[in-house]
Amino acid sequence: MNIFRLTGDLTHLMSIIVLLLKIHTIKSCAGISLKTQELYALVFATRYLDIFTTYISLYNTVMKLIFLGTSFSIVWYMRRHKTVRLSYDKNNDTFRHYFLVLPCFLLALVLNNRFTVREVLWTFSLYLEAVAIIPQLVLLQRSKNVDNLTGNYVFFLGAYRGFYLINWIYRYFTENHYRRWITWMAGIVQTALYVDFFYYYFKSWKNNEKLKLPA
Amino acid sequence: GRSHEGKDEL
């Protein structure tokens, strides 16, 4: 474990806490894409298949349980909770997320480290996580003004994989035989998708104005 | 923990 990866994990956890706070306290999911939340639940479900078979550390297991639990409860809140579901912006959250699932699965079948069920699903979860934010970014551009909590949620979500990129560079130079081409490619694509969001996020923060993404 | 082919990351 290094400081970059720990910061990345905590930033990821922060993004989920910001989202849960928004949904749980003000009972609203306005501006949040259910499609992206469903994709994240699928990402964790296919990535943490070995949660009960491979023990790495208490931290690792606890964090996996937190990510699984929070991602599924967010989907539940947005689909089932009597008040929260009313604020779901169904008309603008229309990105066909299965258009992302299928290509990621096909790519995982072709481009993986080992052709086993678990490895293909794990690789699928990496590819899917890289593009899972797209429905959310599309929704942000469609919803006129972005509230602070949603903006902060997307910011922390983008920052976490950015810290992972630094972690991979650090591990590449400090651990011999640390080669993760597939992980690195997916991580670079994932972070690159946030670049324009980061630009507008910092610009709005510098000019102290409301965050608005150009359509 | 030992890296299980890179699976020691979340």
A125 within domain boundaries: yes
Nearest to B5 among A67, A113, A175 (CB): A113
- Residue B6: the pLDDT is 61
Q: Where are the alpha helices (DSSP H) in A48-133?
A: 58-80, 98-110, 117-131
Does residue A84 fall inside a structural domain? yes
Instruction: Give the pair of three-digit tokens for residue A152.
Output: 């902060």
How many domains is chain A built from? Answer: 1
Q: Tens of pLDDT along chain A (215 residues)?
A: 999 999 999 999 999 999 999 999 999 999 999 999 999 999 999 999 999 999 999 999 999 999 999 999 999 999 999 999 999 999 999 999 989 999 999 999 999 999 999 999 999 999 999 999 999 999 999 987 789 999 999 999 999 999 999 999 999 999 988 999 999 999 999 999 999 999 999 999 999 999 988 87
Is A103 among the domain residues?
A: yes
User: Residue A215: inside a domain, yes or no?
Assistant: no
Query: Cβ contact (<8 Å) for B10 and A56?
Result: no
Is A98 part of a structural domain of the chain?
A: yes
A122 contacts B5? CB cut-off 8 A: no
Residue A120, domain member (yes or no):
yes
CB contact under 8 A, A9 and B10: yes
Report the half-sphere exposure of A140 (CA within 13 A, side-chain side).
Answer: 27
Separation CA A179–CA A195 (nearest Å): 25
A13 in a structural domain: yes
Helix (H, G, I), strand (E, B) or coil at A211: strand
Question: Of A14, A29, A47, A156, whose CA–CA distance to A86 is shortest?
Answer: A29
- What ipTM did this prediction achieve? 0.87
The residue among A56, A161, A185 with the most chain B CBs within 10 A of its CB, best to mutate, is A56
| Residue A10 within any structural domain of the chain | yes
Domain extent, residue A70, equals 3-207
